Amino acid sequence: MSTLFSHGNSASQAYRGAVARGHQSSSWSKLMETWCLWEERSHQRAALRDIADDPHLLADLGLTRDAALDQADKPFWR
How far, in Å, CA of 13 to CA of 19, rounded? Answer: 10
The domain spans of the chain are 2-72
How far, in Å, CA of 4 to CA of 13, rounded? Answer: 14
Give the model's pLDDT for residue 72: 95
* 61 CB-near residues (< 8 Å, 6+ apart): 68
Higher-pLDDT residue of 11, 36:
36
pLDDT, one tens digit per residue, over 39-55 is 999 999 999 999 999 99
Local structure of residue 53 (DSSP, 8 states): T
Considering the entire predicted model, what is its pTM?
0.61
Question: Between the CA of residue 24 and those of 10, 12, 20, 45, 68, what are the distances in Å?
Answer: 21, 18, 6, 32, 38
Higher-pLDDT residue of 55, 15:
55
Which pLDDT band holds residue 1 (cuts at 50, 70, 90)? very low
